[in-house]
Structure 1
Amino acid sequence: MKTSTVRADGRGSSIPEPEYQTLLGRVTDWVEGPGEAWAEEIEATGKVSGELWNQLRAEGFLSLAAPRDLGGAGLSFLQWMGLMEVFSRSHASVRMIVHVLNGTWRAMNPFADEVQRQKFIVPAVAGESVVAFTLTEPANGSGVDITSSVRRDGDTYYLTGSKHLITFGVRCDYWLLFARLEGSSGRDGTVALLVDRNTPGAEVEDTSRTMGVRGTDHASLRFTNAPVPVANRLGAEGEGLAVALGGFLTPSRISVAMSCVGLAQRAQQLAVAYAAGRTTFGKPLASRQAIAFTLAENAADIAAAKALTLTAAAAWQNADPDSTALSSMAKLTAVDMLGRVTDKALQVHGGIGYWQSQPIERVYRDARAQRFEEGTNEIQKSVIAKAILGGATG
């Protein structure tokens, strides 16, 4: 019997289908039960409590996607996408926690040595530490144009620069931060560093007040000659963007696309329930053709986006070179679908849907955030166009 090799990115790992179905049922029960109660608390307080983090850790929900040799559950990527679909019907901050903590190991593991793996990655997979992905800068994009820089003195880098829109940048234990060697340009000068949250010379500004995804913290960061051990560098000098974009971005975009599918399903559930229970002029709202057709359009829209997302997920799982373009197609399509579905779902509710007493109001706000996560629609179109045109345009 041939055995598959589990790669550093987790491809080749899976669990038996009966075990997976049991896990899927457990996740569904949690999302529909305790998850709904947590959603109400998060919206009321604007915060995700430490108790919720502890519960997600105790349930094993922060350790699902990683392979068993890192302490994860060993799910295949397609299996993980099935769970992300369900988690995404919960509060957006719950979805964000499980998405991020089940994903950052993918960026780190292919470039880590064994000491780094035990110090940084295994605790992160266990949910015992939080690593915040720290790429975006206030005056630049999220790629080769980064300007945060380091100068090396012996076994220490000294980091200077700014980052913003950093999810979990306030409460994390480490920033997985991308900078460039002082005086360098292009990707060849980039480095990936694990920077301790309490590093001297680091200033953290909490910027968590957002339209949606309430409870998830975000930060703007400033560094002034902040010391970082060279031992905390992942990969070699010049491999920073390979760490940031290589094995991480494609599966993360697919995961965000599936998050759009799950959130759209939640919006549709709410719209169907409201239409079935609401009576106008003596007739159920659902009996009116305009409403029925709206719900039918939503169902078709969701199914189409889900199918493309699963195609992209299968391509990445099978190391298909087309998976990069497919991930952008899935994210672009799913984000646009989510906008249409949530807008129609809110409209089905009529005026009452605009009130915060209705769950659809939160879903509508949370949906807008997906347009920015892992690249805007314009970025996705650029990736797709490059794959289609290749060198045809020079």
Structure 2
Amino acid sequence: MQVASDALGLTVSDRDIHAAACAFAECAVAPHGAAIARDDEMAPEVIGELQRAGLFGMNLSDAQGGLALGPIAIGLYHEALGQASSAVRSILTVHGMVCEALNRWGSAEQRARWCVSLAHGDAIAAFALTEDGAGSDVTAIGAAAVDGGSYYRLTGRKLWVTGGQLAKVFLVLAKCEGEDVALLVERDTPGLDVEPVSAMLGLRGAMLGNLNFRDCAVPRSQRIGATGLTVGGVIATALDFGRYTVAWGAVGIGRACLEQSMDYAETRSQGGKLLRDHQLVSALLADMIVGVRAASLLCLHAGRLRETKDPQALWETAAAKYFAASMAAAVASSAVQIFGARGCSSDHPAQRHYRDAKILEIIEGSTQIQQQLVTRLRYASL
């Protein structure tokens, strides 16, 4: 059963893109979703499918070898991928974050060096921000870049980098003489060690890695933007794209849980009647239906504002991420409840969605950070 996604204000073109995204996700990604999570490893054939479909270049231009998709199309693909495998979606999210920052703040030479490879997926990018004592508070970053003239000497440790085991280039935030600096660091840089991270609660198979930088020589030409306030723009650009795509991915989780739960409630009998006819189960389904619909509308509205470059898009994106992530966690919890013991078993999709949804309440700004951000940005927009 497919829960209708029409009547959400999608244009004919949007609906065509959504259909294509769903078809791709269903054929190329969904069959691998359970195994990716079970084995905690990304399937190489899925990466190949993403490359062939050009999805690593969703937000890059035709001239750069990308698909040049608009915000709504990007969102619809992330929704479809989130429904099939949140781990796969997360790889494209962080890759897209680096592409977005590079396109907005990188030099012409940097874009020429990287964008075609990034668009084709020949080089996968990852975003390295979080540390043991820094995440939401980027002012607490401890990674240090010492200015050596034509090179920076980078030392420090970054944690839980999505795609860290796959990436060929990392966008790294560090401190240089008290100011922020954003550096593109290539994986084969001497002194860089990638430590695999496994058995996380959710997003298993997203190939997380901890990065250890030991006096890495990073050419000054690989710095994005100037130090100081400009670097704040680099990070904000990346995180804004991340929040937007995570919000759509959360809608995908919610939609998967809703469809599976409605199918089950329509066939499973308890006490002589279908689950759907039990009032308390019906109430759970009603909340799931409304939650998914509301989150879809928030994401679509944020996308429309992003298409027109409306300044309101910033806080509307934060609002969409806040609501959609919370919705996904609640809907996934209800799905497990409806399936009962089945939903708790290791081979059932409900438990995978439940674990993945919780992660979405934390990454790219936790629920609590989003609440603060929504309020602050809304006041700023008045």
**Same structural fold, with TM-score higher than 0.5 when normalized by the shorter chain:** yes
Partner of 2:232: 241
Amino acid at match of 1:111: W
Shift of the 191–19 alpha-carbon distance from structure 1 to 2, 3 Å rule, reads same
Partner of 2:8: none
Q: Under a length normalisation based on structure 2, what TM-score does the superposition of the two structures give?
A: 0.91
Shift of the 39–196 alpha-carbon distance from structure 1 to 2, 3 Å rule, reads same
Shift of the 141–281 alpha-carbon distance from structure 1 to 2, 3 Å rule, reads closer
Q: Are 1:145 and 2:150 matched, yes or no? A: no
Residue number among 146, 152, 156 corresponding to 2:151 in the alignment? 156
Shift of the 114–204 alpha-carbon distance from structure 1 to 2, 3 Å rule, reads same
Structure 1, gaps ≥5 residues long? 1-16
| Partner Cα separation in structure 2 for residue 132 and residue 216 of structure 1 | 11
Identity of aligned residues (%): 28
Contact kept? 1:194, 1:232, Cα under 8 Å: yes
Greater RCO (CA < 8 Å, at least 6 residues apart):
2
Residue number among 142, 164, 169 corresponding to 1:169 in the alignment? 164
Q: How far has the Cα of 1:179 moved from its partner? A: 1.0
Contact kept? 2:54, 2:119, Cα under 8 Å: no
Partner of 1:32: 26
Query: Of Structure 1 and Structure 2, which has the larger fraction of its residues in helix?
Result: 2
Contact kept? 1:161, 1:222, Cα under 8 Å: yes
Partner of 1:373: 363
Which range is displaced more, 340-349 or 33-42?
33-42
Partner of 1:387: 377
Q: How far has the Cα of 1:294 moved from its partner? A: 1.6
* Matched pairs, number: 370
Contact kept? 1:250, 1:323, Cα under 8 Å: no
Structure 2, gaps ≥5 residues long? 1-10
| Partner Cα separation in structure 2 for residue 65 and residue 389 of structure 1 | 30
Contact kept? 1:101, 1:125, Cα under 8 Å: no
Partner of 1:93: 87
| Partner Cα separation in structure 2 for residue 224 and residue 280 of structure 1 | 61
Q: How far has the Cα of 1:389 moved from its partner? A: 4.5
Shift of the 391–26 alpha-carbon distance from structure 1 to 2, 3 Å rule, reads closer
| Partner Cα separation in structure 1 for residue 248 and residue 226 of structure 2 | 33
Matches within 5 A, 1:222-261: 222-238=212-228, 239-245=230-236, 247-261=237-251
Matches within 5 A, 1:194-213: 194-213=184-203
Q: Are 1:333 and 2:328 matched, yes or no? A: no
Residue number among 55, 61, 64 corresponding to 2:58 in the alignment? 64
Q: How far has the Cα of 1:123 moved from its partner? A: 0.9
Give the root-mean-square deviation of aligned CA atoms.
2.1
Partner of 1:191: 181
Partner of 2:111: 117
Shift of the 389–115 alpha-carbon distance from structure 1 to 2, 3 Å rule, reads closer
Residue number among 111, 128, 132 corresponding to 1:134 in the alignment? 128
Contact kept? 1:179, 1:240, Cα under 8 Å: no
Which digits, 9 at most, give the CA deviation of each residue in 1:108-159, with x for residues without a partner? 1122222211212221122110111111111123423312111122311101
Contact kept? 1:267, 1:360, Cα under 8 Å: yes
Residue number among 222, 235, 256 corresponding to 1:266 in the alignment? 256
Which digits, 9 at most, give the CA deviation of each residue in 1:221-246, with x for residues without a partner? 2222110011111122333222111x
Q: Are 1:318 and 2:308 matched, yes or no? A: yes
Contact kept? 2:34, 2:347, Cα under 8 Å: no
Which digits, 9 at most, give the CA deviation of each residue in 1:312-357, with x for residues without a partner? 2222222222222222211111121112111111111122211123
Amino acid at match of 2:301: T
Amino acid at match of 2:156: G
3-state SS, counterpart of residue 216 of structure 1: coil
Shift of the 220–21 alpha-carbon distance from structure 1 to 2, 3 Å rule, reads same
